Amino acid sequence: MRLSSVLPVLIWGRAYRRADLVADLLAAVVVTILLVPQGLAYATLAGLPPEVGLYASIAPVLAYALLGTSRALAVGPVAVLSLMSLTAAGMVAPPGTPAFAEASALLALLSGAMLVLMGVLRLGFLANLLSHPVVSAFISASALLIALSQVRHLLGLPPADGTSAAETIAALARTLPETDAETLAVGGFALLFLAWSRRGAQPLLVRLGLPAAAAAAAARAAPALAVAAGMAAVVLLGLEADGVRTLGAIPAGLPPLALPALEAGRIVPLLLPAFLIALIGFVESVSVAQTLAARRRETVRPDQELVALGAANLAAGLTGGFSVTGGFARSVVNFDAGARTPAAGAFTALGILSAVLFLGPALAPLPHAVLAATIIVSVLSLIDLGVPRTLLAYSRPDFAAYVATALATIAVGVEAGVVAGVLFTIGVTLWRTSRPHVAIVGQVPGTQHYRNVRRHAVITRPEILSVRIDESLSHLNVRTIEAFLLAEIAARPEVRHLVLMCSGINAIDASGLEMLEALTHRLAEAGVLLHLSEVKGPVMDRLRKTRFLAALSGRVFLSQHEAVRTLAEDAPAGHPPPPGRPPHGEARAEADSRPASAGQGGAGPA
Amino acid sequence: MRLSSVLPVLIWGRAYRRADLVADLLAAVVVTILLVPQGLAYATLAGLPPEVGLYASIAPVLAYALLGTSRALAVGPVAVLSLMSLTAAGMVAPPGTPAFAEASALLALLSGAMLVLMGVLRLGFLANLLSHPVVSAFISASALLIALSQVRHLLGLPPADGTSAAETIAALARTLPETDAETLAVGGFALLFLAWSRRGAQPLLVRLGLPAAAAAAAARAAPALAVAAGMAAVVLLGLEADGVRTLGAIPAGLPPLALPALEAGRIVPLLLPAFLIALIGFVESVSVAQTLAARRRETVRPDQELVALGAANLAAGLTGGFSVTGGFARSVVNFDAGARTPAAGAFTALGILSAVLFLGPALAPLPHAVLAATIIVSVLSLIDLGVPRTLLAYSRPDFAAYVATALATIAVGVEAGVVAGVLFTIGVTLWRTSRPHVAIVGQVPGTQHYRNVRRHAVITRPEILSVRIDESLSHLNVRTIEAFLLAEIAARPEVRHLVLMCSGINAIDASGLEMLEALTHRLAEAGVLLHLSEVKGPVMDRLRKTRFLAALSGRVFLSQHEAVRTLAEDAPAGHPPPPGRPPHGEARAEADSRPASAGQGGAGPA
């Protein structure tokens, strides 16, 4: 049982049936047809020879099939990681050199090792540092950078230095006059065809008589069709002689098995990028895996996913590949094509391997412009401009994090973007926690409920101040809360009891405990007793381990209502509320509803 | 009104009476007697000429009197900041040089500017980064470092390089044979006398017939007495000739008025230390001010305190002083001596000024060993070994933060200590928030309360899964929560309704909203409706701004009980709970109490 949780293949492999085999084989064929052009395209995006994209779709896929907990996730190169890999490896060696290819593999190896380590040490929570707005901004901004970087391939322009948006645009503007008409024609046609195919292909095929499911599957083959058409055009029209750049000869043969040189001088600059690639890759992949698993009421174990993705990247690094993760588009294709188990992934790997072994030389006339069109159409669909609009309406801090991440990514680069986003989010989290919602509460007439005096017409008693704190007590907010409470007490000389309603307090850290101890002491010196009400079970369990409950000047009540009822009964008989006290700031509702408090509780003996 | 909130002197100054004047003057005399030896001692601790300690007790005190919101806080040099100042200025120039003194003043100027800026921009929450355990560990470890650094003065040994504990101990061990007997005699006597005076002086004076209050005030003069006795011993016994080191001539005259040279080369290395000094100084000072203010039911405004402390440090930097803050011991003395308004501070400043003008030459024979004894006795009282014990019992993460801070401070230095503590605390905060307490809940029989199935024998229904989340939904925990919910749903094929009980959810950030949207979508595909219950007012207000409530597959219920009652009534009649389902993991109590659910709600039409 222990082993099967580490090797999920032991679970699904034991129950494998002939029907599964047929379904998985069919899905593998569909995915292979999609993956070949994608692999070629993302490898060139990452500054690597095209065959590397195919290598990265073999061993990593097998590794994930053995270890992964998602039944439909398809692992391989993806656009955003390819851009991150290009940027990182570019710091170590210039793209196009063998040293660059080795750095790309080393990067995958490092990311893989980090992911496995995070999985084994249960450090998956580190991925939580990436909030949805940060990831969304990063993906959209990266997609823009990627699309920009491909424009030169569409136009047949020479490569540019640097990967920032400003550098790319400057280079494009400078070399625009050198645009190659034939390349533009090929690329432009592919671009239009692919853009149309995303929405128009399936309905057309259905109208031509294909069943809906088959039409959807066939529509997914549009990139393969574009590739084939592009090659045909090059060969038939002799476009290569006209300056249309093509892939050229792709070596046929097994992926190389080699450990990249582990030199500190190369490893150190790649550590941060490798970590960021690991985080982004994991976040994206788990999100896809959970989406698909939920559809079949299956489940994904994030910690095991870390190990599986890590193994996939280790495999990529050892077989001349580069950074991989679970891709959204291909996983959906795999799922829709009926993949039932990770065996579909294994069959896909065999399919790609056949492509490498037998298809390589045939791909020589494939124009770069067609691959660029594939990438552009694919990444532009990643840009979601609805997100910032929603964020602006829902949460300013999240919107600010979005903007900061997007700007840093576009202006400086992918790593700066992720780092800026994470730091900004941490700052916002700390800032938010440090300004908790604190409400002075009173009794809703005729009920036992206590609500905010600013929102409701409630009954309060002058000698009892009831405050609800809607946040766990931690070092981030106890100074603010204490200052608020002391100021409220100082402003109400008639208060004899402060009741903290703890229903929103999920935890109290040592600083919170220290504050409560200081507070009970300070209030006692001012003649005010401190009480707690509605303390949660886990919080109370921990308070019982301390001396605080003994030092507490007042009592702990099960409910706020019990607290107020008891304290009101204990009040000295000759101490009626002053009738005409002017309202204090936000507690105006309190004064408005004061008269009603007369009938609330009798004045018992002191 | 606006102006008086910026210049609190306008409030208390207007109501100033003759009785206040008498009380404030009396307190000022007592505090002056305490401050003169303290100022001399902390200046030498900070590697500065002794008179600088007096300079730092004049203009800063006046600045705080004008701007501060605490009526009893006494500002001036304190032990821990003196050590931090020594360490920081030591990076720029060697102690004892004019450049070092200028760096110390520059450091105060920078801290002051940062504090004013934080006050104006309402950035006081940055001080929240320092948790109680971190501050406590830092103070205790610094006190140990300070006491260690003074041992050589007690023994008459030459100065050591470096400020880390290891360096100091190594230097002591190396030079121990050079111990000067006369110095040790003077210092040892002062040390024993001061240590005894902390507890023994007041009772003795009371037994000798003094009233308790007067005895307490007189006992505070022990350091001044030790200083006087030390000087007398040096003069009468001619100890200077025997090698007892003394302060030597102190220049009489006004503090110099000078702006330290603002060169980038000097400023940049001092920025981080200046920020840390600002934070530590502010945290300590506000804590003292709040303690004293609460005793008289007064209040302290932290944002204005930032400005006042900042002005005090600017004043220190411009008058040849060094970093200052509100000190605990002197503020308590000021309070106990009856200070009623900040005017007491202004009178103290005049007292110290007189000391500088007229007492300077008379202090020449004061032995360093006596000042060292003053410092040692004073800082050892800052070490509180009860704190780590309490932390270990109450909160492991806080204990770990304590140990990390203390070790970093002692092994590396004061800056490393603060930085390590802050980073560790941030890490722990993020880690904690990422592992929220989540409970599957059921109905407590005979009530409308819903509690944890693991803690209580409760009633549940197989088609309804109720989950209470005891944490705000944020990017730090939504992945964990979603994985938990999806796994629970996957493990319970009979579940048709998931009810999230939101009583512990104080806020939902954009990532939380995104998770809820994805969750309702994913659950709908698996045939499960998502409902919410007990959503707090502020949370609901923000959800109403989004499309989520429209997309939600289920409903929002006012209470958990209403949710379960309504959903149970809606259940199809022909769908009774399977009687013999095996219990699932932690939901065992659920299965135990299943039979009771039969009488809970009628089966209405589907």
What domains can you pick out in chain A, each with its CATH number?
A: 2-426 (no CATH), 438-599 (3.30.750.24)
Among A596-605, B27-36, B381-390, which stretch is predicted with the lowest mean pLDDT?
A596-605
Q: Does B503 touch chain A (CB under 8 A)?
A: yes
| Chain A residues inside the 8 Å CB shell of B526 | 294-297
Alpha helix segments (H runs only) across A296-327? 302-318
Q: pLDDT tens across A228-250, in order?
A: 899 899 888 888 877 788 888 78
pLDDT level of residue A598 (50, 70, 90 thresholds):
very low
Name the pLDDT band for A572 (thresholds 50, 70, 90).
low
pLDDT-based confidence at A313, cuts 50/70/90? very high
pLDDT surpasses 90 at A471 = no
Residues of chain B in contact with residue A472, where contact means CB-CB under 8 angstroms, are 471
Is any Cβ of chain B less than 8 angstroms from the Cβ of A511? yes
| Mean pLDDT, range A401-412, rounded to an integer | 91
Position B550 confidence tier, pLDDT thresholds 50, 70, 90 = very high
- How many residues does this entry show for chain B? 606
| CA distances, B432 to each of A279, A398, B69, B494 (Å) | 19, 21, 36, 33
pLDDT, tens digit, 9 for 90 and up, residues A316-330: 999 999 999 998 878
Best A328, A394, A541, A548 member to test B by mutation, with max B CBs in 10 Å, is A394
Binary contact (A293, B486; C-beta < 8 A): yes
Provide DSSP, B468-514: EE-S-B-TTTHHHHHHHHHHHHHH-TT--EEEEE-TT---B-HHHHH
Containing H/E element for B451?
strand B450-452
CA distance A140 to chain B (A): 16
Mean pLDDT over B19-47 rounds to 87
Assess A288–B contact: CB distance below 8 Å, yes or no.
Answer: no
Taking the C-alpha atoms of residue B181 and residue A221, their distance in angstroms, rounded to an integer, is 94
Which residue type sits at B114? M
Percent of chain B predicted with pLDDT > 90: 28
Mean pLDDT for A430-454 is: 85
Helix boundaries (H) for A296-365 = 302-318, 328-336, 343-354
Query: Does residue B454 belong to the interface with chain A, where contact is any CB pair within 8 Å?
Result: no
* pLDDT tens column, B208-248: 888 887 787 777 778 888 888 998 998 888 888 777 888 88
pLDDT for the residue numbered A311? 96
Greater confidence (B487 vs B109) lies with: B109
Going by their DSSP bridges, the two strands A450-452 and A438-443 should be labelled as antiparallel
Mean pLDDT computed over B379-385: 85
What number is the average pLDDT over the span B395-408?
91
Interface of B with A in 559-588 (CB under 8 A): none
CA distance A202 to A391: 33
Lowest mean pLDDT among A541-545, A569-573, B257-261, B435-439: A569-573
Q: Is B592 exposed, middle or buried (0-12, 13-18, 19+ CB in 10 A)?
A: middle
B429, B478, B546 ranked by CB distance to A390: nearest: B546
Among B280, B489, B514, B546, most A C-beta atoms within 10 A, so best to mutate, is B514
CA–CA separation, A454 and B46 (whole Å): 51
Question: What is the pLDDT at residue B580?
Answer: 38
* Nearest residue of B to residue A505, measured between CA atoms: B504
Q: Could you tell me the pLDDT band of residue A162, with boundaries at 50, 70 and 90?
A: low
pLDDT in tens, A344-355: 888 999 999 998
> For residue B585, is pLDDT > 70?
no
The predicted pLDDT at position B571 comes to: 63
Distance of CA A366 to the CA centre of its chain: 35
Q: Is the pLDDT of residue A386 over 50?
A: yes
Q: How confident is the model at residue B201 (pLDDT cuts 50, 70, 90)?
A: confident
What single-letter DSSP state applies at residue A69? S
Which among B268, B289, B321 has a CA at the least distance from the CA of B85? B321
What pLDDT, on the 0 to 100 scale, is given for residue A378? 84
pTM: 0.76
On the question of pLDDT at A596 being above 90, the answer is no
Q: Is-contact A218 A174, C-beta < 8 A?
A: no
- Using the Cβ of B75 and the Cβ atoms of chain A, whether some distance falls under 8 Å is answered with no
The whole-number pLDDT of residue B531 equals 96
Cα gap A467→A465, rounded to integer Å: 6
B129–A509 CB contact, under 8 Å? no
Q: How far off is chain B from A91, nearest CA to CA, in Å?
A: 28
Under a CB-based contact definition with an 8 Å cutoff, are residues A300 and A286 in contact?
A: yes
Query: A132 vs B490: CB contact, 8 Å cut-off?
Result: no
How far is residue B26 CA from its own chain's centroid?
Answer: 31
Placement of tokens 């090929």 in the chain: A186
What pLDDT is attached to residue B57?
Answer: 92
Q: Does pLDDT of B405 surpass 60?
A: yes
Position A577, amino acid: P
Test the A interface: residue of B297, B522, B539 with most A CBs within 10 Å: B297
SS3 label, residue B128: helix
| Subunit contact A523:B294, Cβ cutoff 8 A | yes
Lowest-pLDDT range of A250-264, A298-312, A516-530, B31-45: A250-264
Instruction: Calculate the CA B116 to chain-centre distance.
Output: 19
C-alpha triplet B214, B217, B221: angle, nearest 5°: 130
pLDDT of residue A163: 64
Range with the poorest average pLDDT among A333-337, B26-30, B168-172, B473-477:
A333-337
**Burial of residue B403, with CB atoms counted within 10 A of its CB: 0-12 exposed, 13-18 middle, 19 or more buried:** middle
Question: Residues of B numbered 371-390 whose beta carbons fall under 8 angstroms of chain A's beta carbons: which are they?
Answer: 390
Strand pairing of A529-533 and A325-326?
A: unpaired
The dihedral over CA atoms of B342, B345, B350, B352, expressed in degrees to the nearest 10, equals 180
B561: Cβ contacts below 8 Å, ≥ 6 apart: B443, B448, B449, B450
The mean per-residue pLDDT over the stretch B98-120 comes to 94
- Confidence band for A175, pLDDT divided at 50, 70 and 90: confident
Name the band, by pLDDT with cuts 50, 70 and 90, for residue A569.
Answer: confident
CA distance B585 to B591: 10
Helices A510-525 and B264-295 pack at an angle, to 10 degrees, of 50
Averaged pLDDT of chain B: 84
Name the H helices within A46-131. 50-55, 59-67, 79-90, 98-120
Measured between beta carbons, the chain A residues lying within 8 angstroms of B395 are 509-510, 513, 542
User: How far is residue B150's CA from residue B168's CA, in Å, rounded to a whole number?
Assistant: 10
Number of Cβ within 10 Å of residue B90's Cβ equals 18
SS3 B443: strand
Give the ipTM. Answer: 0.74
Q: Are B141 and B380 in contact (CB under 8 A)?
A: no
A267: confidence class by pLDDT, cuts 50, 70, 90: confident
Provide CB contacts within 8 A for A5, sequence distance 6+: A301, A304
Query: Given CB atoms, is B542 within the 8 Å cutoff of chain A?
Result: yes
Encode pLDDT of B482-524 as tens digits.
889 988 998 898 999 999 999 889 889 888 998 899 899 888 8
Residue of A393, A434, A507 lying closest to B128 (CB–CB): A434
For testing contact with chain A, the best of B70, B304, B392, B511 (most A CBs within 10 A) = B511
Best interface-test mutation with B: which of A69, A125, A468 has the largest number of B CBs within 10 A?
Answer: A125
Predicted confidence at residue B604, as pLDDT, reads 32
Share of chain B above pLDDT 70, in %: 93
What tens digit of pLDDT does each residue of B293-340 get?
Answer: 877 777 788 888 999 999 999 999 999 999 999 988 788 888 887 788
Checking if the pLDDT of A114 tops 90, the result is yes
Please report the pLDDT score of residue A307 as a whole number: 94
**Residues shown for chain A:** 606
Alpha-carbon distance of A81 to A162, in angstroms, equals 17
Q: pLDDT at position A161, please? A: 66
Cβ of B518 under 8 Å from any chain A Cβ? yes
> Does the distance separating the beta carbons of B455 and A523 come in below 8 Å?
no
Tokens of B154: 């007690």
